[in-house]
Every structure is written in structure tokens, then in C-alpha cells.
Amino acid sequence: MRVLIAAMMLLSLPACTSLLLGDASSGDGGMSTDQRSSTQVAADNTISATIRRRFGADSTLSQYAIGIRTVDRNVTLSGTVGSFPARDRAVQIATGTDDVNSVRNRIMVNTNL
């Protein structure tokens, strides 16, 4: 249970940092200049939140801290998972999310997890 709570907290940190630092790129903790409209930022944040919620509800993916960054409806996934099927499942969920244009998979697999 503690692992689940810790994972949920880690998954929500990038979005919180983004809001606190004023960076409009969804899920990115760095400072940058963003030319997107507030409507597009809100849409990107919704996409990231939807994917994050689906990962949390998935029995395999909920145990991993997968980064989700959405810019102009293009999603980048990052982090490390314990198997190739878990990585493929993350991509499948992100790709199947409404309004997603593309998914860039930067998830690494470490079978020792």
C-alpha cells in the first residue's frame, strides 16, 4: 500500500511542479518559453491527467513511475518499467487516449525491477 501511495505521489509531482513554476508544458518541471494558448495547455494537461489516471488504474503500470509530457497533443512517455509487456501496455494506453496525435516512447526496460 505504501508503494502505491508513493507511486501516486510521484506521478502527480511533475504536473504540480509545472503549475508552481509557471511552465505551461504539461508534465515538464523545467522553465521554458511556451507559445501555446491557454486552451491548448488545458487540453494537454487533460490528456496527461487522463493517461496518468489510466496508468494508476492498471495493475501492472501502477507500480512504476512513468513520466508523461504532453505538448500540442503529442505525448512523450519516460521512465523505467520491469518488462517489455509493461512498456507496450503504457504505449497502448497513451495511444488509445482521446485527442492524442502521437506517442513518443522513451520508456526503458529493466527486468531486474
Rounded average pLDDT over 14-43: 64
Kindly report the pTM of this predicted structure.
0.71
pLDDT at 30: 53
Q: State percent of the chain over pLDDT 70.
A: 71
Q: 3-class SS at 23?
A: coil
Let me know: does 60 contact 90? Beta carbons within 8 Å: no
pLDDT at 34: 78
11 CB burial (10 A radius; 0-12, 13-18, 19+): buried
Q: Cβ neighbours of residue 22 under 8 Å, at least 6 residues apart? A: 31
Residue 65 gets which letter from DSSP? -
- What nine digits make up the cell of 104? 513518443
pLDDT at 23: 44
For Cα atoms 9, 21, 53, give the angle at the middle one, nearest 5 degrees. 30
| pLDDT higher than 90, residue 47 | yes
| pLDDT higher than 90, residue 103 | yes
Residue 112 gets which letter from DSSP? T
